[in-house]
Amino acid sequence: MCGIVGLYLKNPERRSQLGALFSPMLEEMTGRGPDSAGFAVYRGAGEADAPPAGGKLTLYSPADWEDWDALAHAMAERLGAPVTASRNASHAVLSAAAPSQAMRDWVAANRPDLRIMSAGSTLEIYKEVGLPRAVLERFGAPQMAGSHMIGHTRMATESAVTTEGAHPFNTGDDLCLVHNGSLSNHHALKRRLAREGGLAFQTENDSEVAAGYLTWRLAQGAALEDALEAALKDLDGFYTFAVGTRNGFAVLRDPIACKPAVLAETDDWVAMASEYRSLARLPGVERAAVWEPKPATVYVWGTA
Amino acid sequence: MSSDVIDLAGAADVRAANRRLQGRQGAVAGGRFEVLNPGGAHALAAGLMDDVEVVIRGPVGYYCAGMNKNATVRIEGAAGVGLAENIMSGEVRVTGNASQSAGASGHGGLVVIEGDAASRCGISMKGVDIVVGGSVGHNSAFMAQAGRLVICGDAEDGLGDSIYEAQIFLRGAAKGLGADCVEKEMRPEHEVQLAELLARAGIDLPASAFRRYGSARSLYNFKVDNIGAY
């Protein structure tokens, strides 16, 4: 199983409510995935229409004594640019007036024990083992503002129940993916992506390979829509994906479409979920268009 | 005539609501019920055996009105996976769109989807009549054994794949027919039957606007030439 949800705000006036609208959506999917949960939020200086201000990483340390300020200080010295750290439970967001790639390189060289949950300019990813409600509360999700959020509740099938194996997966700047299903050609695809795209993967999870595939296509210059069209040819298996980029939100299902999905859209927002009950409390849902997304059909919102 | 109101935003949960609708808390035959704030709940109004009228005001989750017998259920909104699956008799109507496998393996009665139905609509249907006001997704009427699937819009690929003796009436175009599904002659008696079914579904379209599809009967009959395959 697994539950996936996504909420993309079309009306910027709703951005202060993003986390409050999104959190009950994810919690409602507890029955589909009680093992672990995670969510991605797009927020901050470079949000949606504005240009990115600099790089941003979400880091995870299993050690609760991690001194994030000291780490930010050490990184700033090396990069020659200010770096700020903001702790959020087991995670921390590092922001710098430097490209995210330089930040990632520093972490890889100096703190390979830390897990990079996300990299980009507006994306932050939080995930943990445990019930969705506990995960949401631990990171203060209901208070978060931003343009869009994507989340996942996991019932593991392909790899272990760990924080690292939870979704969403981020494999390139500001791209994230959540997946309900299982891929059957991810080992071969992973080797191809490593060989042709030079991609490195952090887990054994099949969904990370799907995220890596989209990153690879986007790096080649494809638009998100085209990258997803190509995914229909190159990915084999069962999937419903929700995908976030800095300015966009997308949904894709495999041609057989056994994994559930429902979409709802109003003038203010577009939302997807594995089941309608996740959408039932959104404002104006009683007037929303509600439909099951078609198989092998790319749905994209925003300017991705 | 007044209705009994069951509000799922209040004290009633789905189990309690279903017990009441199923007549397990006192006779309900001939009764009318209104269910408020369904919130996408699963298995709502499933297993109704009596002649009751239920109006659900809002979208429902999976398996709504499953195994329905005698009851009339109207959903004002969209329906999730498996609407009216295994319906025996009575009528289930949804004013919005239905998710996949609507009317799956239904034995009798009528299912009306005023919007679109997703994939596998009427899969393995065994006598139910399904009328879809919009279009249907892929593999609709897959292995359909008996009954009628009426599609006022278009059909995706694999319509009627491995169909047995069910009949399909399609107004628009099929992206592709499944194995052993062929277009058949629309004779006067079919037009009469279809007109009667459309009238029951409350859809104002002439039967002459539809084409009929069914089984070529080349797949499910044993052929001695294939003996080597067994």
Cβ atoms of residues B88 and B147 within 8 Å = no
Given an 8 Å threshold on Cβ–Cβ distance, is B118 in contact with A278?
no
Q: Looking at this predicted complex, what is its ipTM?
A: 0.89
Which CATH number goes with the domain that contains A195? 3.60.20.10
**Among B97, B114, B161, the residue to mutate for chain A (most A Cβ within 10 A):** B97
Angle at A36 between CA A32 and CA A38, to 5 degrees: 100
DSSP secondary structure, B182-209, as one string: EEE---HHHHHHHHHHHHHHT----GGG
B213 lies in which domain range? 39-221
Least Cα distance to A136 among A2, A263, A21 occurs for A21
Q: Is A173 exposed, middle or buried (0-12, 13-18, 19+ CB in 10 A)?
A: buried
pLDDT reported for residue A51 = 53
**A49 pLDDT more than 80:** no
Q: Of A87-101, A155-169, B186-200, which gets the smallest average pLDDT?
A: A155-169
pTM attached to this predicted model = 0.93
**CATH classification at residue B206:** 2.160.20.60
B80 contact A CB<8A? yes
Q: How many domains does chain B fold into?
A: 1
Q: What's the domain count of chain A?
A: 1
Helices in A12-99 by DSSP H: which ranges? 18-27, 68-79
* Prior bond of A112 cis (ω within 30°): no
- The C-alpha of B159 sits at a distance from chain A's nearest C-alpha, in angstroms, of 14
How far is the alpha carbon of B133 from chain A, nearest alpha carbon, in Å?
14
Q: Does B60 touch chain A if contact means CB atoms closer than 8 Å?
A: yes
Residue A116 in any domain: the answer is no
Task: Report CA torsion sign: A23, A25, A31, A33.
Answer: negative
Q: Please pick, among A2, A144, A271, A273, the residue that the annotation labels catalytic.
A: A2
User: Which residue in the set A260, A290, A294 is minimally distant from B96, CB to CB?
Assistant: A290
Residue A253 lies in a domain: yes
Task: Examine the pLDDT at A304 and tell me if it is beyond 60.
Answer: no
Sign of the CA dihedral running B218, B220, B223, B227: positive
Q: Classify residue B24: in a domain, yes or no.
A: no
Q: Do B80 and A262 touch (CB under 8 A)?
A: yes
Nearest CA-CA partner of A287 in B38, B100, B96, B136: B96
Give the residue from A176, A170, A135 showing the smallest Cα distance to A29.
Answer: A135
Is residue A99 assigned to a domain? no
Q: Is residue A2 among the annotated active site residues? A: yes
| Phi, psi dihedrals of residue B32, rounded to the nearest 5° | -125, 135
Whether residues A290 and B78 touch (CB distance < 8 A) is answered with yes
In a domain, A207, yes or no: yes
Let me know: does A158 contact A206? Beta carbons within 8 Å.
yes
Runs of H (alpha helix) within chain A: 18-27, 68-79, 100-110, 132-138, 186-197, 206-219, 224-234
Q: What is the pLDDT of residues B23-51, one digit of tens each?
A: 998 888 899 999 999 999 999 999 999 99
| C-alpha triplet B147, B94, A255: angle, nearest 5° | 75
Domain assignment of residue A85, yes or no: no
Per-residue pLDDT band at A45 (split at 50, 70, 90): low
A152 CB-near residues (< 8 Å, 6+ apart): A2, A3, A4, A5, A33, A37, A38, A39, A127, A166, A167, A168, A178, A179, A180
Q: What is the pLDDT of residue A24?
A: 98
For residues B140 and B121, is the Cβ–Cβ distance under 8 A?
yes
Per-residue confidence (pLDDT) for residue B225, from 0 to 100? 79
Domain membership flag for residue B15: no
Domain span including residue A271: 3-40+142-302
Buried residues in A267-302 as b, exposed as e (16+ CB within 10 A) = ebbbbbbbbbbbbbebeebeebebbbbbbeebbbbb
* pLDDT recorded at residue B197: 98
Residue A183: pLDDT over 80: yes
Beta carbons of A127 and A40 less than 8 angstroms apart:
no
* pLDDT per position as a tens digit, B128-185: 999 999 999 999 999 999 999 999 999 999 999 999 999 999 999 999 999 999 999 9
User: Which 3 state secondary structure label does DSSP give A6?
Assistant: strand
User: Would you say residue A117 lies in a domain?
Assistant: no
Contact B97 A292 (CB under 8 A): yes
| Res A46: pLDDT | 46
Mean pLDDT of chain B: 95
Cβ pair B40:A278 closer than 8 A: yes
**How many Å is the Cα radius of gyration of chain A?**
18
Cβ–Cβ gap A286/B58 under 8 Å: yes
B106 Cβ under 8 Å from any chain A Cβ: no
Kindly list the residues from chain A whose CB atom is less than 8 angstroms away from the CB atom of residue B60. Answer: 276
- Name the strands in the sheet holding B72-76, side by side, starting at the edge strand that comes first in the sequence: B4-7, B32-36, B53-57, B72-76, B91-94, B110-113, B126-132, B146-151, B167-170, B211-215, B181-184
| Res A187 pLDDT > 80 | yes
Alpha carbons A163 and B77: distance in angstroms, whole number? 38
Q: Which residue from B183, B162, B185, B165 is spatially nearest to B174, judged by alpha carbons?
A: B183
Q: Hey, is A85 helix, strand or coil?
A: strand
